Amino acid sequence: MGLAHSAVAFDHTVTTTFSKGLALWSAIGTVSRQGLALWSAVSAVSRQGLALWGTVGTVSSQGLALWGTVGTVSSQGLALWSAVSTVSSEGLALWSAVGTVSGQGLALWSAIRTILGDQAFFFQALVTVGTIGNGLAEHRVAVFDLWSSLIGSRQSKSSAG
């Protein structure tokens, strides 16, 4: 019985060890499956993270495009203000020219008033106009008489004074 007992004990040890080995392999399989599930979850999260970063990149590029548009609109606004400034300065130059012309017109009217105010010069102009025309001899005589009487009255005032 010794040998049979040894054989049974050995068989029992082998069976127990084999059972424990199977249990160990089962545990390794379970851990491996859980590890694979974990890696699958990590992969899914990574894909979602990459998708999120892709969305962030798209939003950022659209934001940059928006800022580019804002820059373009701003530069066009500056160009518009520059044009308004140019038109305004040209308008001021125009008003300055109008003021100059108006001032010259006033000076001209002042000169005409001065000329017309000096009666002797006015009558001299009438005499000159009268001598230009043909067939106006009668008018020349009348103007000359008027001129002579004007000069005579001035000379009498001068000698009396």
The pLDDT value recorded for residue 141 is 65
Helix axes 119-132, 2-117, angle to 10 degrees: 80
Q: What does pLDDT average to over the chain?
A: 78
Confidence of residue 143 (pLDDT cuts 50, 70, 90): low
Residue 119 contacts residue 150 (beta carbons within 8 Å): yes
Q: Return d(Cα 2, Cα 10) in angstroms, integer.
A: 12
Residue 122 contacts residue 115 (beta carbons within 8 Å): yes
Q: Rounded to two decimals, what is the model's pTM?
A: 0.35
**Per-residue pLDDT at 134 exceeds 50:** no
Residue 98 contacts residue 92 (beta carbons within 8 Å): no
**Per-residue pLDDT at 32 exceeds 80:** yes
Mean pLDDT of 73-98: 85
The pLDDT value recorded for residue 130 is 52
Q: Return d(Cα 68, Cα 63) in angstroms, integer.
A: 8
The pLDDT value recorded for residue 118 is 62
The Cα-based distances of 31 to 19, 35, 37 in angstroms read 18, 6, 10
**Per-residue pLDDT at 49 exceeds 80:** yes
**Per-residue pLDDT at 154 exceeds 80:** no
**For the chain, which residues make up each domain, given as ranges?**
2-117, 118-161
The pLDDT value recorded for residue 18 is 85
Structure tokens at 42: 């990590």
Structure tokens at 45: 């999260």
Confidence of residue 138 (pLDDT cuts 50, 70, 90): low
Mean pLDDT of 104-128: 67
Structure tokens at 89: 């300065």
**Per-residue pLDDT at 142 exceeds 80:** no
Residue 127 contacts residue 143 (beta carbons within 8 Å): yes
The pLDDT value recorded for residue 74 is 87
3-state SS assignment for residue 8? helix
The residues, any chain, with a CB within 8 Å of residue 133's CB and separated by 6 or more, are 139
